[in-house]
Each structure stands twice: as C-alpha cells, then as structure tokens.
Amino acid sequence: MLPSSFDPFPLGIMSETARTGLESLPDEIRSHILTYLVAPPPSWNWQKNTLDIHLTHSPDLTSKPLKSLILVSKTWYRLVSPLLYSHLQLRLQTPTTQAEPLLLAPKINTITASFREWLFNDPGYPHDIRLPYRHVWQNAATDKAALWTATLNQQLSSLFTFLESPNNGSTSHAVQSLIVTATGELSNNDLDYIRDELHCLIATDAFWNVLFEKLDPARVTVLAPPSKLACLLGCSMNMLDAWAFPGMSMQLVSVWREPRPVEIADHCRSPSESDYDMMQPVELVMEPNEYGRPAFSSMVYIRPWTHMAVNEGSFLEAYSTYEYFHKNPPGILASVGRAFRLEMDMWSVSYKAVFPFGNHIGSPLDRITYKGNSSNVRKLYVKLAPDPDDTILDDPAQVGKADIADCWREVESAYRFLTDPALRGEPDFAQPGSARELEIFGFGDSSISSIRETVNGSLTTAGWQEVIENEWHSSRLTSCLRTSVNDEMDISRD
C-alpha cells in the first residue's frame, strides 16, 4: 500500500501523445483496455511441485505493467488501483500480543452458544456421539486456540483496514481472488488436540463468516501446513505419521466459480434430511486417527464453488521409511473428499501430488467421482508423477533409501484404479445413461509412456474418446456434443 504522502508524478507533465491519445478516451474505455494487462496471480499456479509462501511472489516491477502505470498520472493511478488490488494475499502471521478479538467476538459468541446447545441439550443425536466432546469441553479457549483466534482477528482486521483506506484506491467490491497463507503446524495430535481443535474451528468459522460478509471473491486459495490447512477448511487432520512426509509440509486447496458447460449434465438437488444431519458439528473428528468431513460452516460450502484444486505436495521421502505403505499421509484430500456427499455445485475437481500412495487417493477420488457419485462432479483431472525434466529424483535428500520402482508402481496402480471400471465395481461408467457419472477425465502424465498406455487402454475399453490431447470424454458426452454440432449445422442450413 502506498503512503498517503506519496506523489507518483512530481513533474505533473504528460506527453502530448498521451493527452491526445489514450487520455482523450472515456474512463470506461480505458478501464476496459487495462483489463487486458491483468495476468493471473502467481497463486493460481496450483500445480507447482514445491509449495511454500513464495508461490505468491510476483516478478519485479519492470515486468508488471499495472504497477508501472500507477506512476504515469493521477488519473491512471485512479483507474489502475482497483485492478492492482483485485488479487489479494492474507498472511496469517502470529501476532506479538493477544488483544481481544473485537472483530470476531460477536460471531464466536453466537457459534459457541449454538455448539453448546447441540452438545448438551439436543436430544436428536445419540449420547455416545456427543460424549467425546462433552468430556473435553471447556468454556474458555485453550492457550493455543486463543492464539489462533488472535491471529485470525488481527490479520482480518488489517485486511479490512487496508481495503477501507482511501489511499490505495481499492474497495472490497473489487477483490476478485484471495489467497490465505499460513506457516507452522496448529496441532501435533497431543492429548488436548480435541479441546484445542473445537475452539480453533469455532474461531475459523467466525473468520470465514465475517470475511465473506465484506468480500465476495470468485476464487479463494488456502496454502498452509496440514493441520492448519485442515482447520481453515473446517475439518481435521491425522498428524501421527507426519514426520515421515516432509514433502507434504505445505499443501494447497483452491476453489473458484466458473459457468458449467451446457453439455455437462447437471443433477443438482436440494439437501435432504439425511444431508442436513451430516452437516451438524458431529462431523468434527473424534479420534486422532480418523478424518472428519468438513463441517457445514466450512469455506468449501460458504459459496457455490464449481471447481476445486488440491495439491498435497510430495510423498517421495516417505518411501524410505519401513513399511511405507502402512504410513498415514497427512493429506487434506481424505478430509475434503468427504465434502462431496453434500456439495451440490462442484462439478470439476483437480488433484496434484508427487508419487502419492494409491490407497491414499483412490478412495476419496473414487467417492467424489464414481462410487454412487452422489456428488455432482463431472470432470476429474489428476497429475501424480514428476515431469521428465524434474530434478526431484536427482536429489539424494528426497530420494533417500526409496526404491523408485515402488514409486512408479503406486502411480500406475492409482491410474489403473481411477480409469478401469472393473477395479472399482458399480457403477460401471462404460454404460451411458446413468443419472450421475463422470464425463471428463484429464491427466498430466501423458509424457510417461507406461501411464499413457494404462489410461488409453482402460478408457478405450470403457468406450471413452480422447477428444483433445490428454482429455477423455464419456460416450454420453461425446454423443451429446455430436448431437449439438448436428443441430447447429441444421440451423445454419435453414
């Protein structure tokens, strides 16, 4: 943000060309021209192999035309500012002092009262479901939860102060996307983790509610260590084996809204009574070795997102551990994958990791896209292996004692499971006409011949067609598109 005393044009002089050229155009036209200079922010590059807070760093000023244009004149500064601050980053840095969470306090009080009512007075849930929470419940937040609440409150207050400042030329209505970044784990699954987690989740719930009362970004990205990422998404994380997965120390989840193509079947429905039951706080995890689906207050549900991208980082170092296949990766997919039994608008899911375990990704992706497909997901994109020019396998620190053959076997078995109907069982997506079925499958590892052969063989057998490179369409979708093209040709002939 520029200081109030900053004068970007001390000379107050513009060239004659500028005054009679672009300067002669109405502001509306110049604002439209400026949109062609807007590039996607670095945080949209969710497929990076190495995830850290540097993902959000932009190149220097000379390669950023908008940042250069604000120095031209006061008029250009006024026109550029809303675009310059349309993609924001909110860093959840721990505050040096724990002030009272004045911004979040009203919401926290309301949410806490609602939770207590459910916990102690609601007879609609079995006693044994609520008992674990009753056992650890305390009215006051733990020190860890209090620090987390202070962090959320201070950073959100700073964001609102920035947007409301008259000096930066931006407003909350101009924010198109937001990335929330954090460092440091929130939980190590110690004895108090449930007690910590409850109050942390309540504070996080309040954080998102207050934020979305002021902002309505079309895209939100969260980049954080596993347990903190889980809390920000309103769910839980198994951290017992996290020590074996240093390559997963930062993970990313991004959600955004885009129109659904008319050819993609839409089977949205209103939530049923049973869905509503699953939305209650009972969905918070009750044991350290279990994953809970996101609470209904999660950021995943707070807007009608249509796309989700997940990047879990690298599993490579875990292959060096004894009986690696018994290790439980601290991955966010297992938790957010449970959301899709409720989410009615999400139709596209993308997943990226390096050498993920087949048994880790198979079940959640199967649940999201195939198994009964009670979700509305129609498109799945996956990338599970490093690119041929990637140097990750040349790094002794990451490879360690891993048998690389094991890594490739896991990747190929995952692709085989995701694309072979015989391995998944019902429903068989080779049979068209099902009310809910995946219709588009894309993958980013086609340069690896064995993987491409696996995918091609499975999907060809299932009756799918490769419409564009590395993107396959179901027989229902290709038939629909063919009919649409024929109809357009008939109209043109008329």
CB 404 within 8 A of CB 466: no
10 Å Cβ neighbour count for 266?
A: 12
pLDDT 10s digits, 422-432: 665 544 444 44
Of 181, 325, 336, nearest in space to 241 by CA: 325
Banded model confidence at residue 141, pLDDT cuts 50, 70, 90: confident
pLDDT 10s digits, 188-212: 655 455 667 778 888 998 999 999 9
pLDDT 10s digits, 235-287: 878 788 899 999 999 999 999 988 766 656 555 554 444 443 433 443 444 44
pLDDT 10s digits, 324-345: 988 989 999 988 887 776 556 7
How many angstroms separate the CA atoms of 52 and 181, rounded? Answer: 9
pLDDT 10s digits, 101-112: 789 999 988 888
Tell me, what's the pLDDT at 368? 78
Tell me, what's the pLDDT at 343? 56
Least confident of 127-131, 144-148, 405-409: 127-131
Take residue 157 and report the two structure tokens written for it. Answer: 């207050």
Tell me, what's the pLDDT at 225? 94
Tell me the three-class secondary structure of 92-120, residue by residue. Answer: CCCCCCCCCCCCCHHHHHHHHHHHHHHHH
Most confident of 32-46, 58-72, 270-284, 392-406: 392-406
Least confident of 249-258, 403-412, 479-488: 479-488
pLDDT 10s digits, 351-391: 999 999 988 888 788 777 765 556 678 889 999 999 888 88
Q: Provide the whole-model pTM.
A: 0.81
